[in-house]
Structure 1
Amino acid sequence: MPSVDRIVSKAMRRLLPFLLLMYVLAFLDRANIGFAQKALQHDTGLSDAAFAFGAGVFFAGYALFEVPGNLLLHRVGARAWMCRIMVTWGLVSSAMCLASTPGSFYVLRFLLGVAEAGFFPGIIYYLTHWFPQAARGRAIGVFYFGAPLAFIFGGPLSGLLLDMHGLFGLAGWQWLFLIEGGLASAVGVWAFWYLDNKPANARWLDDAERRVLTEAVERDARHAAAHGPQQVIDALFNARVLLFAAIYALIQVSVYGVIFFLPQQVASLLGTRVGLKVGLVTAVPWLCALAVTWCVPRHADRTGTHRAWAVMLLVLAGLGIALSGMTQSPLLALLALCCAASGFIAAQPLFWTFPTRYLTGAAAAGGIALINSLGSLGGFIAPSLRALVQHLAATGTATSGAAAGLAMLGAASLVAALLVGTRVPREAAPSADTFEPRAHRAR
């Protein structure tokens, strides 16, 4: 009988590169607004406050439709629903090139959130159908490579597209939205033909592999059903699920409070405008995040230390964010941003092992979506909250205001670390029983 470990590795090779490509495009379409900021503001007359509101209003549309979107995925399957999500969000993202007033900017950002709703929690839920709990941190960790990769490759790409300003009469920021949105729609069509909903549908697995992997995943699902809510309505009002949502919201305050303004922060450190040079430098923190996200979830899966590592990484993120605003040295600020990005990116796949250990079935579809939905409100409030703190703290210099805004974002990450360390139950140590099926072990 084939081992679960070998089948899981085969599934990772088949699924994760494609899911990773999808997430790169998703993250790119969320965060490219940071690269377009100055040019977009110049052409449309957006104030800093209006830009911050428009950047965040994406998450309002996203949060409203997360739960129904994930329940529809549970009903119709991942391949059809992911195709719909990516095609529509790509079209809306491309339409951002038509934004000409604050009102049109707000509407398109809101609709982009509506179109993308269900994508991220849908992928997390989808992974629970393919990977047992003992391999889930590693699988989600590889999926999370999408965030740093989006900046490693997307930063220079966005900078290059901005440098196409004037080609065929379009501004650089218009090329940015048009091309990156079109890529998302194309991959969405591809997803319909490439993805399989569950191991039982996978023609690239043989009969024995399908049976062994299905049994391993179902064994974890039975364990979750015995310890967590089983109905959607119970999951939506479950105290532990709401705690997970609060923790995730705090993490997202740090993530998006940094991401939306990172190109401008780096440009200020370098004393230049946003373009290819800034795009290359902003890739450095994400290279660090990529390395940490590769190593830590794998170690946590082997040792059962997801909670301890999540706490350490969130503390690292909080300190890195705060320190990046307290130094005038570009090198020290960049090192602090490397710590920040490594911490809040690598902590998130570890975080998602907590609710997926507790939820299964329709309750998982609804509960994961609720956590992501409420958590994404952190992304909604982060830009405006950072702008407000900077305004209130500014005492004649922009530097003091910027430092206060970053300190607030760092504090959110530290509170998240405190909640994980004190409120999330400690996981059981890994054992063969959590990974290999009984028939294989007895052989």
Structure 2
Amino acid sequence: MNTLSPQPGDMPDHALQSAYRKTAWRVIPLLIVCYLVAYLDRVNVGFAKLQMLDDLKFSDAVYGLGAGVFFVGYLMFEIPSNIALHRFGARRWIARIMMTWGLLSAAMMFIETPMSFYVLRFLIGVAEAGFFPGIIFYLTTWFPSHRRGVMISLFIAALPISSMLGSLISGLIMQSLDGVAGYAGWQWLFVIEGLPAVALGAAVFFLLRDRIADAPWLSPEEKRGMQAALDREAMDKPRNSVRDGLLNPKIWLLGAVYFCLVLGQYVISFWMPTIIRNSGVAEPWAIGVLTAIPYSVATLSMVLVGRSSDRHREYRWHLGVCAFIGAGGVVFGTLFGDSLLLSMIGLTIGTAAMISSLPVFWGMPTAVVGGAAAAAGIALINSLGNVAGFFSTIVVGWLTQLTGNTQAAMYFMAGALVIGGLLGLSVSRPRNPQLADMKTVA
């Protein structure tokens, strides 16, 4: 039994458990659906590429720059956006983020030139800036560290689920709606997958609450108990200024780890449909089904890795081993790229291991700093990840055009994962016993 968990006042533990359970059911499902749509809107350009490049006469380099320029806008506005969320409240700010990015993503159906592609992708990045780190910070205002890892893992589980469902949906849309009303399948893809974000933005505005004190589903006793848990934990955590969050060396080291992990993640997200097509699969629906397989396995592996990390209360080796296996899977899939079966085995192992490292990673920075410093620090880490997203798409596009295939890019990604795993192993063990006890997956 964990005797180091905060015990607020004399409130019975079963009553506090009930309060957290009610809050999780009220908040987490909506956030998962929002992340499903957010990630789908971010990476559906990888599926649109299968038709869009031929229709618009774009090169791989044009696509790589357009896919990557999203991260420039995201990077420029991420930290200001997260600070604004801290100031104005998550409910209003997340709703604003979702509505604007949904409308801009739908507008992608009208692109005709490389410049219009670049401008819209940049604006989508500006609109979405702060969403993911904002949610991570938002969870810190409801759950103490020893419960927060569970919530983060459930939220991040939306990533492989989104990729899995998105692959199936995107392939179906592009194949079945191509030519309907005079629009190409890739155009229908953007509008059908973009507009749900607008409706979800409205749902966030009306259903989320900014503070425990504002939660109508909690009794006064439950509100006091949950707030006391956060207040007690805050006594052991520095609550400094934005500047402190941005200059913390631990934040920068974690940012470097995340840079390497995200570099691999986005190479897979943006280029897997192309890799599968190059293995001999032509139909968009079949490509969608095959693309969904690695993400289906990743959904399960996240739970298994998280439970192992939870049971052993260890994160460095879990993250490092996942990164190393991810690199090995990518190399294997690349070496045997001419065989669809062997390529899929490698891509499945690599993708599952790579994605399984993410909930373990996000259990690490959320207890380093608090308050405005936490909002800025978490945003900084995610910003460095988005630098990787931009860098990866540019490099992969350039290498693919230079060599005529994706092999060099895949080896490059595998090397980045190895470096990320080594950096993860270099992260010092937490001295805060609450961080040491923090669970990372349900």
TM over 0.5: yes
Q: Hey, what does 2:3 align to over in structure 1?
A: none
Q: Secondary structure at the match of 1:406?
A: helix
TM-superposed deviation, 1:434: 7.2
Report Cα offsets for 1:362-413 as digits up to 9, x if no partner: 0001111111112210000101212334455x3xxx4xx4222111101111
Q: Hey, what does 2:295 align to over in structure 1?
A: 286
Moved more, 168-177 or 214-223: 214-223
Q: Secondary structure at the match of 1:224?
A: coil
Equivalent positions of 1:174-193 (< 5 A) are: 174-193=187-206
Q: Hey, what does 2:407 align to over in structure 1?
A: 403
Q: Secondary structure at the match of 1:213?
A: helix
8 Å Cα contact 1:323/1:336 also seen in 2: yes
1:240 aligned to 250, 259, 274, which one?
A: 250
- In 1, the alpha carbon distance for the partners of 2:186 and 2:428 equals 43
Equivalent positions of 1:291-306 (< 5 A) are: 291-306=300-315
- In 1, the alpha carbon distance for the partners of 2:237 and 2:333 equals 41
TM-superposed deviation, 1:224: 2.0
Q: Hey, what does 2:45 align to over in structure 1?
A: 33
Moved more, 328-337 or 412-421: 328-337
Q: Hey, what does 2:259 align to over in structure 1?
A: 249
Q: Hey, what does 1:64 align to over in structure 2?
A: 76
1:312 aligned to 318, 321, 325, which one?
A: 321
Q: 1:165 to 1:432 in 2, by over 3 A?
A: closer
Q: What letter matches 2:197 in structure 1?
A: A
Taking only aligned residues, the RMSD between alpha carbons, in angstroms, comes to 1.9
Q: What letter matches 1:255 in structure 2?
A: Q
Q: 1:274 to 1:69 in 2, by over 3 A?
A: farther
Q: Hey, what does 1:441 align to over in structure 2?
A: none
Q: Hey, what does 2:4 align to over in structure 1?
A: none
1:356 equivalent to 2:369? Answer no
Q: Hey, what does 1:372 align to over in structure 2?
A: 382
TM-superposed deviation, 1:207: 1.7
Aligned-residue sequence identity (percent) comes to 39
TM-superposed deviation, 1:268: 2.1
Q: What letter matches 1:55 in structure 2?
A: A
Moved more, 237-246 or 165-174: 237-246
Q: 1:37 to 1:427 in 2, by over 3 A?
A: farther
- In 1, the alpha carbon distance for the partners of 2:275 and 2:148 equals 35
Unmatched 5+ stretches in structure 2: 1-10
Report Cα offsets for 1:10-44 as digits up to 9, x if no partner: 32222111111000000000110010003111222
TM-superposed deviation, 1:220: 2.5
Q: Hey, what does 1:74 align to over in structure 2?
A: 86
1:201 equivalent to 2:201? Answer no
TM-superposed deviation, 1:431: 9.8
Q: 1:309 to 1:427 in 2, by over 3 A?
A: farther
Report Cα offsets for 1:166-216 as digits up to 9, x if no partner: 111111111100111101111111110111112221111112222222222
Q: 1:302 to 1:104 in 2, by over 3 A?
A: same
- In 2, the alpha carbon distance for the partners of 1:46 and 1:215 equals 57
8 Å Cα contact 2:313/2:438 also seen in 1: no
1:95 equivalent to 2:99? Answer no
- In 2, the alpha carbon distance for the partners of 1:406 and 1:185 equals 35
- In 2, the alpha carbon distance for the partners of 1:78 and 1:53 equals 31
- In 2, the alpha carbon distance for the partners of 1:334 and 1:432 equals 37
Q: Hey, what does 1:421 align to over in structure 2?
A: 425
Q: What letter matches 2:236 in structure 1?
A: H
- In 2, the alpha carbon distance for the partners of 1:431 and 1:318 equals 28
- In 2, the alpha carbon distance for the partners of 1:290 and 1:8 equals 24
Q: Hey, what does 2:275 align to over in structure 1?
A: 265
- In 1, the alpha carbon distance for the partners of 2:101 and 2:40 equals 12
Q: What letter matches 1:410 in structure 2?
A: A
1:341 equivalent to 2:354? Answer no
Q: 1:402 to 1:110 in 2, by over 3 A?
A: same
Q: Hey, what does 2:230 align to over in structure 1?
A: 217
TM-superposed deviation, 1:428: 6.1
Q: 1:332 to 1:120 in 2, by over 3 A?
A: same
8 Å Cα contact 1:67/1:366 also seen in 2: yes
TM-superposed deviation, 1:247: 1.3
